[in-house]
Amino acid sequence: MATARNPAELTRPLITPEGVDLRIKLADAGTRASAFLLDVVIIVAAAVAVTLVVIFGLGGLGVKEAEPLFIVWIIFIFLLRNVYFITFEAGRRAATPGKRIVGVRVASRSGAGFTIDQVIARNLMREIEVFLPLSIIAARGGAGVADTLSTIFGLVWSLLFSLFLLFNHDRLRIGDLLAGTWVVETPKFKLVEDLSQRKDPVARRFPFSPAQLDAYGIAELHKLEEVLRRDDYSAMKAVAETIGRKIGARIEPIDSKAFLTAYYGDLRAHLERKLLLGNRKADKYAR
Amino acid sequence: MTLPAGTDAVRQSLASFRQEREADWKAFEALLARVERRAPRTLSEDELLSLPLLYRSALSSLSVARATSLDSALIAYLEALSLRGYFYLYGARRSLRERVGDFFLRDWPAAIRDLWRETWVSVALTVIGAIAGYWLVASDKRWYDAIIAPSLAGGRNPDSSTEVLRSVLYDGGSSHFLSGFAAYLFTHNTQVAILAFALGFAFAVPSVLIILMNGCMLGALFQVYAAKGLGLELGGWLSIHGTTELFAIALAGAAGMRIGTRIAFPGELTRMAAAAQAGRVAATVMVGVMMMLLFAGLLEGIGRQTITSDATRYAIGGGMLTLWIAYFYLFRMVRHGNG
């Protein structure tokens, strides 16, 4: 079973017609589950609101007269959840509100446009995967004929289908499998400042020799960037100490940030220069 | 000790790369945010034309940044921006209404025509099942209880009197029309249709069994009535909604069989690709099947007990069947333009 621990495992190539690989990331099982639960909450809230309005509006009717309305209600719920999923996924952003909140969307596995029959296929299968067994259990329970065996069968059925996406490499539901779709992350990043352009007066006090800059590679540079962007004092202090020990420099704890900024700027310029000359120094072990 | 010559120059040129392109990225981001929220109609002509240009500029920036820059935040930003642009520009952008229109005019009938072979098999299985059911009950009454669960039979069995059987066919009486609909929703017919489709991926075996069994039940019920000389009347009672419903179940079975056989015999495609291809056709058919079942439910709830003349029942049933066949197989929309 594939785990999501290594992010590279969920990265898939997506080559645009212009020939650029966009390296999409598939949404992991937890994200999928939380998106689905958010959607269920929204649908249930809408259903409850409508039901309450109807109950208060028609409060005068007796139980006998209300029976046909119950049937209409069942059809309404069926339409509500299907229309909800299908309309939102057929929309421009190809995502239900739940999916939008967690930052994922549905896309065609082939990379071509996402079509309406794919939307319908993947959402109809959800009806069979989750809602059908549950509603059969509910109907049997309501009629008083639910036995343990069929209830267990229904629960195992929906559990098996819900967990299906954990057992394949591409995190596909049965619906995704049949529709030829998958769910990918669409992160939204702000354009943030370039750290190497940061002007720090204290940073000027730290000149580095080429030997000191050769101590690290690109992997470490990216970790350093992460630490600097997080801007956490104790983390920066620890990192500055480690780097200082490695390159033989003494840094006062108070200067950690300035030192790291200066080292980051110079290390990046150094490695980018190497990159231009055709040497991508992946990490500190590379020559 | 000084840095190697050129380090500062590299830093400068990368900074100016970002400075020069940044305005384009920001403009693209703002434009995308607008078109994702509102229809493309709200854009001016210039903005619409600039969209693909800005997209290509973002892609080229991404390529340059990947090759020369080590600023991972910048690369992540450009990747996310390009991906959004890609999905927008290459995604399907037809409006929902257009697509729904397309579904009824073209996709649904086309998908059903595509399944013609499986549909014949499905219909043949129903007929074979019906003949088998008829023959079994004719040879030994006890088969009836084995084929039709007592809870579904509703008091109709080989030992019922002619009057009881007749009353089921013609008594509308007290029941509210929607209760008939309610009963319909939870009868096994809908579940048969959905299961015949859903279990298809187990190499079509469950679909075949479900369709056969459904035919068996039909045959068994028919034998009970025919033995009392009520065969024609039962036909009328069943056909008013049954033509729609049985056709829908046959189509659901056909859709299940298509998925199962394509998984078993994927041909030149991989099993996954074959399943995906079959799944899309089958799903399109299934949406239609659900609508047909809903329609059959309405016919049953409203028409079955209120219309009691055999001729009218046959006329409605036959008319519905003709309508469906004409819609699916005879009426073909010509695709105009490049639609």
Alpha carbons B93 and A267: distance in angstroms, whole number:
45
Domain count, chain A: 2
B305, B173 contact by CB (below 8 A): yes
- Residue bearing the bigger pLDDT, A110 or A26: A26
Tokens of A88: 């939102």
Residues A94, A45 share a domain: yes
Q: Which residues of A touch B35 (CB under 8 A)?
A: 92
Of the residues A143, A159, A185, the one at which a domain ends: A185
Residues A180, A205 share a domain: no
Q: Is residue A190 part of a domain?
A: no
Helices vs. strands in chain A: H and E counts, helices first: 11, 4
Of the residues A125, A155, A185, the one at which a domain ends: A185
pLDDT band at A2, cuts 50/70/90? very low
Tokens of B148: 């039709």
Tokens of A235: 């983390």
> Using one digit for the tens of pLDDT, what is the confidence trace for A178-223?
788 899 998 888 888 888 777 777 666 778 888 888 888 888 999 9
Residues A201, A140 share a domain: no
| Averaged confidence pLDDT in chain A | 82
Chain centroid offset of residue B208 CA: 19
Residues A149, A15 share a domain: yes
Q: Is residue A284 part of a domain?
A: no
Q: Where are the alpha helices (DSSP H) in B265-306?
A: 271-298, 304-306
A124: distance to nearest CA of chain B, Å? Answer: 7
- Residue bearing the bigger pLDDT, B68 or B91: B68
Tokens of A93: 């952003």
Q: Is residue A281 part of a domain?
A: no
Run of H or E residues at A106: strand A104-108
Alpha carbons B65 and B52: distance in angstroms, whole number:
20
CB contact under 8 Å between A272 and B70, yes or no, is yes
Average pLDDT on A159-174 reads: 84
CB contact under 8 Å between A178 and B282, yes or no, is yes
For testing the chain A interface, which of B11, B88, B179 should be mutated: the one with the most A CBs within 10 Å?
B11
B193: distance to nearest CA of chain A, Å? Answer: 11
- HSE-up of B191 (CA within 13 Å, CB side)? 14
B283, A124 contact by CB (below 8 A): yes
Residues A228, A173 share a domain: no
> Using one digit for the tens of pLDDT, what is the confidence trace for A84-118?
998 888 887 888 999 999 999 999 888 777 877 78
* Lowest-confidence region among A18-22, A249-253, B120-124: A249-253
Specify the pTM: 0.74
| Averaged confidence pLDDT in chain B | 80
- Residue bearing the bigger pLDDT, B335 or A31: A31
Q: What does the domain layout of chain B look like in residue ranges?
A: 19-93, 99-330
Using only the alpha carbons of chain A, give its radius of gyration. Answer: 28
What is the pLDDT, as a whole number, of residue A139? 66
Tokens of B251: 């189509």
* Lowest-confidence region among A38-47, A110-119, A165-174: A110-119
pLDDT band at B123, cuts 50/70/90? very high
Question: How many CB atoms sit inside 10 A of residue B320's CB?
Answer: 22
What is the pLDDT, as a whole number, of residue B145? 77
Q: Which ipTM did the prediction report?
A: 0.84
For residue B200, the 8-state DSSP code is G
Token pair 């049985």 is found at B246
- Residue B337 predicted with pLDDT over 70: no
Residues A178, A43 share a domain: yes
For residue A169, the 8-state DSSP code is T
User: By CA distance, what is A90's nearest residue in B?
Assistant: B96
- From A90, A266, A273, residue closest to B6, measured CB to CB: A273
A129, A162 contact by CB (below 8 A): yes
CB neighbour list of residue A107: distance below 8 Å, 6 or more residues apart: A24, A94, A114, A181, A182, A183, A184, B87
3-state secondary structure A203-265: HHHCCCCHHHHCCCCHHHHHHHHHHHHHCCHHHHHHHHHHHHHHHCCCCCHHHHHHHHHHHHH
Q: By percentage, how much of chain B surpasses pLDDT 70? A: 83
- Residue A225 predicted with pLDDT over 80: yes
Run of H or E residues at B170: helix B162-170
Residues A177, A56 share a domain: yes
Residues A121, A66 share a domain: yes
B182: distance to nearest CA of chain A, Å? Answer: 6
Question: How many CB atoms sit inside 10 A of residue B161's CB?
Answer: 9
- HSE-up of A269 (CA within 13 Å, CB side)? 23
Residues A202, A180 share a domain: no
B301, B184 contact by CB (below 8 A): yes
Structural domain for A262, as ranges: 195-276
- Residue A261 predicted with pLDDT over 50: yes
What is the pLDDT, as a whole number, of residue B96? 65
Alpha carbons A9 and B202: distance in angstroms, whole number:
29
Of the residues A122, A156, A185, the one at which a domain ends: A185
> Using one digit for the tens of pLDDT, what is the confidence trace for B185-199?
545 566 677 777 777
Residues A29, A132 share a domain: yes
Amino acid at A91: G
Using CA atoms, how far residue B169 sits from B224, B294, B300, in Å, is 13, 22, 12
Average pLDDT on B206-225 reads: 85
